[in-house]
């Protein structure tokens, strides 16, 4: 039995809040991508609500982390956990924001029809979603083995982003009516690429939290 | 890195009690090394072996080696008094000689060694009090009793007394545990300055103090040295689970 009961319970609550934020982040990106694929306005509000919840959680967790640092002087794995929380909540918050941006693109684009069946964007979204899901799982389960796939997927996401960019430009050059939607495609692809980057950051932080080793993906 | 003090299979006993067990430890020169661990883990006993203070307790004995600059201080030809001159010690409770003035407290070690030259004594007292960051506070009251000043000043007076005989290493056994945060900060600043010229070993129960001032930290438990390493590593990502449990306060 630990002699620091109040400290232990504060750390456990904090961990629970970060886990809640992680889950909400995964949920937000899933709904956002679906809303864009289906140009479904009903999902947009859900994503906005999740983004707002993520923002509140971000503020609450940051405050609690600073309280723990000020009052409990955490060291070793506790210190690494607090340091990791403070970093990953920004990543979660940013991912939530990009999910909202994707949903807002849906709001702009819903009156239009996709000018071709979407292939690359859903594929990219699937990879970005998986990266977030894996990073979140690695974080929740303190399992660094899951991060390997995250780093591998990031290279694929980057390549796919370049492909989508070139492809969309071709469509827009061929037909100026496609410029509006085309820009939206590149925006969504850009947001997904950023989401993938944040997923990588989370994975790097999980490795640090668990092992104390700082790993930076090239 | 050069080791000022090195132990080899060091064991210390109080009668039948085995207080320090097979410790192999190198104390780096001109660095601050903190020794941490729960009460009764043997940290004070360990540092008392570094200047042959352990053996002055009735029934206490030591086996193994303590090398000071490569020479075993327990060799038959080593004079314990000389060892204690080279390796000074400051204790938990400030203990100036109560019947002596501030001046005489600092000069006591030199006088004991037969120094009578007033000029030399004056210079040494001033230098030592300056090194201990106490000179400006007491220079106009050197004749006042050593126990008439505050607890923090008394502790710095004890450090000045230890420095007066020009030691090479300084052992401090919980030097700040009886002091308030301001006096503690002064001692910590002082140790930080002193490490350029002295090898410092500090026993502390205050984990944050070890983290703040020590370059290296050793963690002891039940007489054994569990882990030794760079302080930042010990407090950020210790190697041993026992160390982690202790520094995070999960010993129960």
A2: which residues sit within 8 A by CB, 6+ positions away?
A8, B249, B250, B252
What pLDDT, on the 0 to 100 scale, is given for residue A101? 94
- The structure tokens listed for A50 are 């999740």
B36-53 pLDDT tens trace? 999 999 999 999 999 999
Q: Does B113 score more than 90 pLDDT?
A: no
Residue A80 sits at the chain B interface (C-beta within 8 Å) = yes
The greatest distance separating any two alpha carbons of chain B, rounded to the nearest whole angstrom, comes to 57
**Assigned domain for A99 exists:** yes
Q: Does B89 score more than 90 pLDDT?
A: yes
Strands B71-72 and B60-68 come out as: antiparallel
User: Choosing among B212, B229, B232, B236, which should be mutated to test the A contact, i.e. which has the most A CBs within 10 A?
Assistant: B236
**Assigned domain for B59 exists:** yes
Window A:48-67, CB contacts with B under 8 Å: none
The answer to whether B236 contacts A211, with C-beta atoms less than 8 Å apart, is no
**Assigned domain for B128 exists:** yes
B181-219 pLDDT tens trace? 888 898 899 999 999 999 999 999 989 999 999 999 999
Residue A4 sits at the chain B interface (C-beta within 8 Å) = yes
Give the integer Cα–Cα distance in Å for B156 and B148: 13
Give B210→chain A minimum CA distance, Å. Answer: 12
SS (H, E, C) B115-132: CCCHHHHHHHHHHHHHHC
What pLDDT, on the 0 to 100 scale, is given for residue A3? 67
The answer to whether A75 contacts B211, with C-beta atoms less than 8 Å apart, is yes
Residue B231 sits at the chain A interface (C-beta within 8 Å) = no
What pLDDT, on the 0 to 100 scale, is given for residue A38? 83
**Assigned domain for B41 exists:** yes
Give B177→chain A minimum CA distance, Å. Answer: 18
The count of domains in chain B is 1
State which residues of chain A have pLDDT below 50. Answer: 1
Q: Does B93 score more than 70 pLDDT?
A: yes
* Residue A74: closest C-alpha in chain B: B248
What pLDDT, on the 0 to 100 scale, is given for residue A2? 62
The answer to whether A75 contacts B248, with C-beta atoms less than 8 Å apart, is yes
The answer to whether B238 contacts A76, with C-beta atoms less than 8 Å apart, is yes
| Cβ contacts of A4 on chain B, cutoff 8 Å | 248-250
Share of chain B above pLDDT 90, in %: 88
* Residue B208: closest C-alpha in chain A: A73
**What order do you get walking across the sheet with B169-173 strand by strand?**
B87-90, B169-173, B199-203, B32-36, B216-221, B224-230
**Assigned domain for A191 exists:** yes
Alpha-carbon separation of residue B164 from A43, A64, B52, B96, B130 (angstroms): 78, 49, 19, 14, 11
The answer to whether B248 contacts A3, with C-beta atoms less than 8 Å apart, is no
Give the integer Cα–Cα distance in Å for B36 and B210: 8
What is the residue range of B126's domain?
3-247
**Assigned domain for A217 exists:** no
User: If you count residue pairs, one on A and one on B, with CB atoms under 8 Å apart, how many are there?
Assistant: 41
The count of domains in chain A is 1
What pLDDT, on the 0 to 100 scale, is given for residue A34? 87
Residue B181 sits at the chain A interface (C-beta within 8 Å) = no
The answer to whether A73 contacts B236, with C-beta atoms less than 8 Å apart, is no
**Assigned domain for A27 exists:** yes
**Assigned domain for B252 exists:** no
What pLDDT, on the 0 to 100 scale, is given for residue B54? 94
Question: Closest partner residue to B247 among A2, A7, A75, by Cβ?
Answer: A75
The answer to whether A76 contacts B211, with C-beta atoms less than 8 Å apart, is no
| Cβ contacts of A2 on chain B, cutoff 8 Å | 249-250, 252
Domain with residue B113: its CATH number is 3.40.50.300
Domain with residue A119: its CATH number is 1.20.58.220
| Cβ contacts of A77 on chain B, cutoff 8 Å | 237, 244, 248
Mean pLDDT of B77-83: 93
Cα-only R_g, chain A: 19
Mean pLDDT, rounded, of chain B: 94
- Residue in the structure block whose two tokens are 């080593």: B78
What is the residue range of A123's domain?
5-211
**Assigned domain for A218 exists:** no
* Residue B249: closest C-alpha in chain A: A4
What pLDDT, on the 0 to 100 scale, is given for residue B225? 98
| Cβ contacts of A212 on chain B, cutoff 8 Å | 236-237
**Assigned domain for B49 exists:** yes
**Assigned domain for A216 exists:** no
Question: Closest partner residue to B249 among A1, A3, A80, by Cβ?
Answer: A3
**Assigned domain for B219 exists:** yes
């Amino acid at each position: 039995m630990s002699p620091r009961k109040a400290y232990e319970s504060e750390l456990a609550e904090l961990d629970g809040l970060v886990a809640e934020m992680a889950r909400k982040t995964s949920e937000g990106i899933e709904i956002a991508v679906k809303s864009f694929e289906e140009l479904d306005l009903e999902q947009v509000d859900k994503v906005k609500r999740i983004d707002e919840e993520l923002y509140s959680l971000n503020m609450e967790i940051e405050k609690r982390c600073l309280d723990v640092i000020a009052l409990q002087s955490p060291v070793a794995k506790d210190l690494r956990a607090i340091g990791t929380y403070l970093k990953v909540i920004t990543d979660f918050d940013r991912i939530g924001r990009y999910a909202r941006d994707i949903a807002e693109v849906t709001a702009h684009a819903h009156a239009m029809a996709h000018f071709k069946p979407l292939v690359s964007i859903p594929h990219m979204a699937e990879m970005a979603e998986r990266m977030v899901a894996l990073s979140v799982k690695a974080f929740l389960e303190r399992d660094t083995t899951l991060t390997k796939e995250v780093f591998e997927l990031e290279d694929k996401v980057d390549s796919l982003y370049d492909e989508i960019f070139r492809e969309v430009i071709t469509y827009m050059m061929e037909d100026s009516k496609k410029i509006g939607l085309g820009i939206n495609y590149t925006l969504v692809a850009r947001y997904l690429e950023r989401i993938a980057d944040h997923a990588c950051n989370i994975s790097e932080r999980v490795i640090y939290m668990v092992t104390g080793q700082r790993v930076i993906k090239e | 890195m050069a080791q000022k003090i090195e132990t080899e299979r060091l064991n210390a006993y109080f009668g039948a009690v085995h207080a320090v067990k097979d410790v192999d430890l190198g104390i780096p020169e001109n660095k601050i090394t903190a020794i941490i661990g729960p009460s009764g883990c043997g940290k004070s006993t360990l540092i008392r072996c570094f200047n042959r203070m352990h053996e002055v307790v009735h029934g206490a004995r030591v086996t193994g080696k303590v090398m000071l600059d490569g020479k075993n201080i327990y060799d038959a030809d080593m004079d314990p008094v000389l060892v204690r001159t080279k390796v000074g010690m400051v204790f938990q409770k400030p203990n100036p000689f109560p019947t002596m003035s501030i001046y005489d407290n600092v000069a006591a070690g030199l006088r004991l060694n037969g120094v009578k030259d007033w000029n030399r004594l004056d210079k040494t007292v001033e230098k030592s009090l300056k090194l201990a960051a106490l000179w400006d506070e007491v220079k106009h009251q050197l004749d006042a009793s050593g126990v008439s000043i505050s607890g923090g000043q008394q502790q710095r007076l004890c450090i000045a007394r230890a420095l007066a005989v020009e030691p090479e290493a300084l052992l401090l056994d919980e030097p700040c545990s009886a002091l308030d945060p301001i006096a503690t900060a002064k001692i910590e600043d002082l140790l930080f300055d002193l490490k350029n010229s002295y090898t410092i070993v500090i026993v502390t129960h205050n984990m944050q103090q070890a983290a703040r001032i020590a370059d290296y930290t050793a963690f002891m438990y039940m007489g054994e040295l569990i882990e030794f390493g760079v302080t930042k590593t010990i407090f950020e990502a210790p190697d041993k689970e026992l160390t982690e449990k202790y520094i995070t306060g999960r010993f129960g």
